[in-house]
């Protein structure tokens, strides 16, 4: 029986092959599971990306809506601004016993037509915060300058200055006021006081709507 394979050798080879096959099956099974896990992870990642993209699109749409609302608010917001100089007549003086309502008759700007050159009153067209500014001039030759800003007939600001040097002197101030629709603002010259203006517009009164409320 020269050259015949021993039975034990054949059995060992078969067992080795069977063992190798089992390892290959386990490896293949593990590879399949890894592929399945990878696919699941990729699917989950894709779903996360989709959700994140949807959230970003939603925030973008909300931001665009806010911008549109702001732009519409700017377009639709009332536009109110005025500026007027006092007169070309030189000196204006109040009566000895009566205050004088100053009418700034030379309109420089009157957007919204809220200032009246007939009455000298500014009337708020909408509720909001307004800013007002005024400047008046007189020549200080033994004189006392005095000017006041009134809201709805009540004094809000009073500026005074005295002197006797004969030089031109100015009083100037500005402030923001809460205004209801229909509220009025005007400038008042107290009794016995005077102010000066000419073509150079030394004395002015102005205001504008800062924002509606």
Task: State the DSSP string of 19-67.
Answer: HHHHHHHHHHHHHHHHHHHHHHHHHHHHHHHHHHHHHHHHHHHHHHHHH
Write down the pLDDT at residue 156: 97
Among candidate residues 164, 161, 171, the one with its CA nearest the CA of residue 140: 164
pTM higher than 0.95: no
The tokens 């005024």 sit on which residue?
Answer: 134
Identify the DSSP state of 141.
Answer: S
Dihedral angle over CA of 101, 105, 106, 109, nearest 10? 80
| Domain covering 81-212 in this structure, CATH number | 2.60.120.40
Length of the chain: 213
**3-class state of residue 13 by DSSP:** helix
Tens-level pLDDT at each residue, the chain (213 residues): 455 555 567 777 777 777 777 777 877 777 888 877 777 778 778 778 788 888 888 888 888 878 776 667 666 678 999 999 999 999 999 999 999 999 999 999 999 999 999 999 999 999 999 999 999 999 877 778 899 999 999 999 999 988 778 788 999 999 999 999 999 999 999 999 999 999 999 999 999 999 998
Compute the distance between CA of residue 24 and CA of residue 9 in angstroms, rounded to an integer: 22
Write down the pLDDT at residue 166: 74
Identify the DSSP state of 5.
Answer: P
Cβ-Cβ contacts under 8 Å for 133 (sequence gap 6 or more): 172, 173, 174, 204, 205, 206, 207
């Amino acid at each position: 029986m020269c050259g015949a394979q021993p039975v034990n050798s054949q059995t060992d080879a078969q067992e080795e092959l069977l063992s190798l096959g089992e390892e290959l099956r386990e490896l293949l099974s593990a590879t399949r599971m890894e592929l399945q896990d990878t696919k699941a992870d990729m699917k989950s990642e894709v779903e996360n990306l989709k959700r994140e993209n949807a959230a970003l699109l939603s925030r973008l749409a909300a931001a665009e809506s806010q911008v549109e609302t702001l732009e519409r608010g700017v377009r639709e917001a009332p536009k109110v601004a005025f500026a007027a100089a006092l007169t070309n007549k030189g000196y204006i003086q109040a009566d000895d016993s009566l205050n004088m309502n100053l009418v700034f008759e030379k309109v420089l700007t009157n957007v919204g037509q809220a200032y009246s050159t007939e009455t000298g009153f500014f009337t708020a067209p909408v509720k909001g915060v307004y800013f007002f500014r005024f400047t008046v001039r007189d020549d200080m030759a033994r004189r006392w300058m005095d000017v006041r800003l009134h809201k709805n007939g009540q004094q809000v600001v009073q500026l005074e200055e005295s002197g006797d040097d004969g030089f031109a002197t100015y009083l100037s101030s500005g402030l923001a006021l809460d205004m209801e629709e229909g509220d009025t603002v005007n400038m008042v010259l107290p009794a016995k006081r005077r102010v000066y203006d000419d073509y150079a517009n030394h004395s002015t009164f102005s205001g504008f709507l800062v924002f509606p409320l």
